[in-house]
Amino acid sequence: MDFFIQLSVAGLVIGSVYAMIALGFVLIYKSSSVINFAQGELLLIGAFLCLWLTVDMGIPFLMSFAITLVLALGLGFAIERLFLRPMIGEPILSVIMLTIGLSIMLRGISIIIWGTDTRTFPEVFSSEPVKIGSINIPEVYLWSLLLSMIFLVAFSLFFKKTRLGIAMRATADDQTAALSMGISVKRIFALSWAIAAIVASVGGILLGNINGINISLTQFGLKVFPVVILGGLDSIPGAIVAGLMIGLLESYSGGYLDPLIGSGIKEVMPFVILMIVLMIKPYGLFGQERIERV
C-alpha cells in the first residue's frame, strides 16, 4: 500500500507538470491551430534561465523564479512577433514546419550558451522528506504539486472569467467573427505564445528542481502529445485531467511493470495510450466535437 501511495504522489507531481506544459500547447493550438513542436525547448530555456539567474547571478530562488516568468513572457511575444506573425495566412503545414525549425534552433542556442552537462539547482527545498503517515515524500514534490495546482486553477479562472480569456476562447472558435467584435486576433496569438512560454518555464523549473537540468529536458515536449491527444487537442480541462492521468500511468507502470518486463516500459506507456485513444476516441476525452446543427 505504501508503495502504491508513493507511486501515486510521484505520478501526480510529474502529471501536474505535464498538465501545465500541455496547457500551453493547447492554447496555441486552440487559438491559431498551430501544433507547436517547440514546447519542450521553451521548457528547457525557462529552466536554464532560472538556473542562470539563481546560480550565476546569485539572485534568491523566488526572485529569479519571478524574473524568469517575466523573461518567458517576453520570449513568447518575441517568438510570435519574429517567426509566427509573418506566417499568418500561409498554409498551416508551413507554420508547423516552422515550429520544428524553431525547436532545433532554440535547442542549439541553449547548447551554445549552457552546454550539455547536467546542472542542478542549489538546495532550494530541504532534502529532508516530509513524513505523512508511514510514507516519505520529498519536499520538492509537495511544492511542485502545490505550485502547479495554483497555476492551473489561475489559468482556468482566467479563461472562464476575464475579458481577455473569453476573447481568447472566442478567437479559437471563429477568428473572423472575433475580428468583427474588435478583438485583435494577432494580439491573441501573441498572448497565447506568451502564456505557453510561461507555463513551460514553470514546468521546466519544477522538473529542474527534481532531476536537474540538461538538454534531455526537451523530451518532455514530446510527452505532451500523449497528454493532449488523450485530453482532446482543444480542451483546457482535458489537458489538465489527461496530464495527471498520464503522470500516474507512467508512475504505476514504472513501479509495477518495470520489474516484470524490464525497464523502459515507463517511457513507452504514454505512447501506447496515445495509439489506443486515437483508434477508439479520436477527439480525446474532452475534445470538442464539431458542433453541427442540422
Partner 1 sequence: MLKLNNIEVIYNEVILVLKGISLEVPPGKIISLLGANGAGKTTTLKAISGLLKEENGEVVDGTIEFEGREIHKQPAEAIVANGIFQVMEGRRVFVHLTVEENLRAGAFTRKDKGNIRSDIEKVYGYFPRLQDLQHRISGYLSGGEQQMLAIGRALMARPRVMLLDEPSLGLAPLLVQEIFNIIRKINQEEGVSILLVEQNAMAALNIATFGYIMENGRIVMDGPAEQLRENPDVKEFYLGLTEFGDQKGFRNIKHYKRRKRWLS
Q: Which stretch binds partner 1 (CB under 8 A): 43-51, 98-106, 142-150, 166-174?
A: 166-174
Q: Which stretch binds partner 1 (CB under 8 A): 3-11, 98-106, 117-125, 169-177?
A: 169-177
Q: Cα separation of 247 and 231, whole Å?
A: 13
151 vs 48, 155, 242, 274, CA distance in Å? 20, 6, 16, 26
The only residue of 81, 87, 135, 173 in contact with partner 1, by rule CB under 8 A: 173
| Least distance in angstroms from the C-beta of 194 to partner 1 | 19
The contact pattern for partner 1, residues 134-163, with x = CB under 8 A and - = no contact, is -----------------------------x
Cβ atoms of residues 40 and 100 within 8 Å: no
The contact pattern for partner 1, residues 270-289, with x = CB under 8 A and - = no contact, is ------------------x-
The only residue of 55, 147, 170, 215 in contact with partner 1, by rule CB under 8 A: 170
| Least distance in angstroms from the C-beta of 245 to partner 1 | 23
Q: Quote the DSSP letter at residue 137.
A: E
User: According to the binding rule CB under 8 A, does residue 184 interact with partner 1?
Assistant: yes
Give CA torsion, residues 31, 32, 38, 41, to 10 deg: -30
The only residue of 28, 38, 167, 191 in contact with partner 1, by rule CB under 8 A: 167
User: According to the binding rule CB under 8 A, does residue 33 interact with partner 1?
Assistant: no
Q: Which stretch binds partner 1 (CB under 8 A): 74-82, 95-103, 168-176, 256-264?
A: 168-176
User: According to the binding rule CB under 8 A, does residue 169 interact with partner 1?
Assistant: yes
User: According to the binding rule CB under 8 A, does residue 210 interact with partner 1?
Assistant: no
Beta strand extents in 54-212 (DSSP E only)? 130-132, 135-137
| Least distance in angstroms from the C-beta of 100 to partner 1 | 27
| Least distance in angstroms from the C-beta of 188 to partner 1 | 11
| Least distance in angstroms from the C-beta of 57 to partner 1 | 40
Cβ atoms of residues 44 and 215 within 8 Å: yes
The only residue of 130, 177, 276, 278 in contact with partner 1, by rule CB under 8 A: 177
Q: Cα separation of 157 and 204, whole Å?
A: 23
| Least distance in angstroms from the C-beta of 154 to partner 1 | 19
Cell of residue 278, nine digits: 486515437
Q: Which helix (H) or strand (E) holds 252?
A: helix 236-252
Question: Which distant-in-sequence residues (6+ apart) come within 8 Å of 124 by Cβ?
Answer: 54, 61, 140, 209
What per-residue string of b and e applies to 132-146 under the rule 16 or more CB within 10 Å gives b? eeebebbebbbebbe
User: According to the binding rule CB under 8 A, does residue 84 interact with partner 1?
Assistant: no
Cβ atoms of residues 155 and 23 within 8 Å: yes
User: According to the binding rule CB under 8 A, does residue 182 interact with partner 1?
Assistant: yes
| Least distance in angstroms from the C-beta of 287 to partner 1 | 11
Cβ atoms of residues 152 and 18 within 8 Å: no
Q: Cα separation of 244 and 135, whole Å?
A: 21
Residues that bind partner 1 (CB under 8 A): 163, 166-167, 169-170, 172-184, 288, 291, 293
